[in-house]
Amino acid sequence: MSSDGPNHNEFDFEFLGNTTGEPYLIQTNVYVNGVGNREQRLDLWFDPTKAFHTYSVFWNQRQVVFLVDETQIRVHTNLEHKGIPFPRDQAMGVYSSIWNADDWATQGVELRPIGAMHLLLPPTETLTSMHVSVQCRLPLLIMPRNVAAVMRKGFGGTSQL
């Protein structure tokens, strides 16, 4: 998830390169006002290529929680009272992308694609669907009239992409 501009907020799930037989690594990151450097890595307890899994972010005024299959893997707590910035006031969108094979994501040069060879290989995974669920507890009277009407009819703030 990310907002726009140089002072954006962003929540990342990043799947890192893997060698056969090693645990799959997932890295999470939180950007606040354009500043990241809050990376945390975790060995997944399963092979994410073998079955469907759910990757979720729960964000409210107190915390940002990263979940895998409804299991909490990281909590970024709001510590603004200690002078630590927290993402609170920017709308965010959901993005999906495939990045290049930089050293930080590929166990150094061990997994780096060589030349154009990687362009000839088919992708090993396919994103088949993405479901975004938004739960907002804002009073309806401050929403635009058309949004408030949809919410009253039971839309529930959930959309399918």
Candidates 92, 58, 61; CA nearest to 75 is: 58
What's the predicted TM-score (pTM) here?
0.68
C-alpha separations of 116 from 112, 113, 120, 121 in Å: 11, 8, 7, 10
Residue 72 pLDDT level (bands cut at 50, 70, 90): very high
pLDDT at 89: 80
Cα–Cα distance, 10 to 6 (Å, whole number): 11
- Measure CA of the first residue to CA of the last residue in the chain; give whole Å: 14
CA distances from residue 96 to 7, 66, 82, 154 in whole angstroms, order as listed:
20, 16, 33, 28
Answer whether residue 45 shows pLDDT above 90. Answer: yes
Domain ranges of the chain: 10-123, 129-161
Decide: 93 and 3 in contact? Cβ < 8 Å: yes
**Predicted confidence (pLDDT) at residue 78 exceeds the cutoff of 90:** yes
Told to judge if 14 belongs to the known catalytic residues of this protein, a careful annotator would answer yes
Tens-digit pLDDT profile for residues 123-150: 455 556 666 666 555 444 444 444 444 4
Q: Which CATH architecture has domain 10-123?
A: Sandwich (2.60)
How many C-beta atoms surround the C-beta of residue 21 within 10 A? 5
Catalytic-labelled residue, pool 10, 22, 80, 110: 10
Catalytic-residue membership of 39: no
Confidence of residue 6 (pLDDT cuts 50, 70, 90): confident
